[in-house]
Structure 1
């Protein structure tokens, strides 16, 4: 078996459940993977499917079917997202797919059942971008600020956001520095406290928001949420889903496909040295309530990282390691996603 065939199988093994829970039906995802056949065709096959759903959205829009169109454009964005998320062989083609993903979700945003408002956050010499969605009703609503991982972006989360929206919680999905459109600010940073503070300030006083904020991070985002929560005042709580305590210590055990991801995401001449900066060792933990979730079958970040993360918290902490859960527990979304939304809802009411 060639290295590229191994790469395709590795990507599917680690991330097929993530594609499904994001909103791509299993049969459709498997059909696209079969059409690709080999890794060299991966980006082309996913892009072609994205174009097909974009055309469906345009047809629905022409007929005045706005919600159907929004859902189609959002799916089209997802196809482009998963086409490029592990594609590092041709960075120019990756950038084209990234731009297409962003443009497709911009088309979807105002058409979603709970429309997504693009928020531009003044940060350093430019802006960070996020999407704000509000629940039905005038509010005021508390806010779940969602922090992606190393290869996820704000466009991936409409299905996740629905769990919060249904409980009266607004959502703000952010591309931080090094994430999605945040690549304009360079590579991933271990500490994004300043970016999160700027984001909270940018939405302060927006209609329908109460001012209460909780942080929700996945994988790398879980690590960054815990680190930032320790330095921010006034949070209602923080959630880490399959985050980690020390990336550098895990480096030798990370799958090759994930090391490739890290090489792209972290940058620098010495990626291992960059990885060592992503640690909670020596960092004061958050004093706000914390929920830490992890899948015991995570083949990227071992579940022992969850216990270490819980141990560094200085406030009330609730830890769940699900025996059957994979990376980010995307094979058991019916278990972890309602728990996350319910827990945060209860913190807002406390």
Structure 2
């Protein structure tokens, strides 16, 4: 089984390479000329995207072909203060350059919009804001000339009216949103409300791939063991152009701690890989550790000492442990 490792959004090694620099709404409101304010936002966005390209080149130097983009590449998108801003137009050449780099180096990239993107809410205003955020991610991917299919990880949402009602509201709303946006979505189990069985209920019913978050499962599990659920997860990816994907992080202190550690507990990862061995030709593993690429490099050094981990590249292994 081939296992590719990636990390999230920012580097702990590269200096001055943040792809998430921003301007607050308060700062923007103080600029008397709106056009001048939008130009300043445009300059920030260009700087963020240039840094994103730097990160991709850093990743390529270390054979990392799996990466999550920051959702904050363009500040104050869809804010009432920037209403009518055609933010993508001046950025298309640079975004196209990013997409060409991704394609030419065969990288898998995607997004994980913030938790306020909620598709199971009955409030039309909240749902519309969520769809506008998804449209923003769609525009970024299209400008990069990257197929948006299954590039956005979402949580199921809240349970204001109860968990069962939340699941049914997701089904109703998902069925009514534009297919261009619904095709982007993959679902992840969360650490508090909707466990892996809930995500699979929706994934199987609606044809959405399910991303296993191993840490979330460990702190918020249902009635079934992971070994029973894993084949069902694999099956949700059968119609996807992308390989099966999981998220890993480690608790900061006790096993029940929902907070993320700086680094990854390799033993828990190896335990999962032993369970999953032979179930799929490849798995892409997104590291959600506080130390980002440092955590990835540390994990790779630790795996070099483990039997059954044959290194194909600096960030990809063939797992053969029996």
Same fold (TM over 0.5): no
* TM-score, structure 1 normalization: 0.37
* TM-score, structure 2 normalization: 0.39
Q: Which has the higher helix share?
A: 1
Q: Which has the higher contact order (CA 8 A, sep 6+)?
A: 2
